[in-house]
Structure 1
Amino acid sequence: MKAKLADFGLSKAFPTEGGTHISTAVAGTPGYLDPEYYTSNRLTEKSDVYSFGIVLLVVITGQPAITKYDNDNIHISRLVNLKLAEGDINNIVDPRLLGDYDINSAWKAVELAMACVAHTPSRRPTMNEVVMELNDCLVAERARPETKPKKLTGLMSLNLESAYDPSPIL
């Protein structure tokens, strides 16, 4: 339940004086920048799709874009790809959801996110396609039958002890 702020594509929306944008280096959060940038030094709309795909994977899995694993860093797309080979969506989706989600919608969201981070930019969907697919996921999630609330132990780690005492005043 942490808010994410992204600026994908905003450089096109706000031109500098004279109508041009000159940048000597791209600053980006490690793990989110399109790997093609390192070879081409160009950012494209498909670079934005890649970065958004990473945001989707972070939201779906509850994991950071880069994780320390056995004295090495592993990228979230690689981690999800390894878990996809096991074929169990429950090993991919954030365990804090306690399985309270539509399986088909989760699969579709993971497949969409992985399409967004395809190594070949031409194989990535457009943002319009991403929005349509996410809307389909939302429809499926909203259409599933209401389930009884599950035990929320471990779902959120709020530190309310110092600010709120739930015991009654005697």
Structure 2
Amino acid sequence: MTLHVVEETVLWRPADAADLDAIAAMHDRCSDETRFRRYNSGLTRLPHRLLERLVDPRLGVSLVAEVDGAIVAMGNLMWCGADDTTPAELGLLVEDAWQSRGLGTAVTRRLLAAALDAECDSIHALVRPDNVPMLRLLGGLDLPLRREWDDGTLTVTVDLAAKMEEGVASSLGR
């Protein structure tokens, strides 16, 4: 899976435990604001156990974007519950220097394809109302959205049922 951004080639691949140091380094290169938008908290450094959870394939799908051997973005689709009624949760982090180049949209489309492959009929993202880039990204997916407010956090649910019926998982991943 590759994406050409400007003159750089971005390699998308599944993340695993061998990537933990590189993922931690990417987090360190991100601004406090970028990390806050991703985790909705003031964490300045992610605990190792949280990083391990993000790349555990039993808990979800994690993809990283690599440029010249450095991880510059990461997307996660975490399975939320044992029942079929709880949507998977989408999370994205794009290093500041790589924002506004289409990486967030590219990883989101790949994760939506993975959700469809797993027969999820929806996914959700917990988004702060001032996280305009994420709200814009979700709104630009051309998929039905439902928004619910809870204690200052917006839960945006992306309805994948129509796409599942169309059988278009692979086209979303491009």
If the TM-score is normalised by the length of the shorter chain, which range does it land in? under 0.3
Greater radius of gyration (CA): 1
Which structure has the highest helix share of the two?
Answer: 1
The structure whose residues are more often strand, as a share, is 2
Task: Name which structure has the greater RCO, CA cutoff 8 Å, separation 6+.
Answer: 1
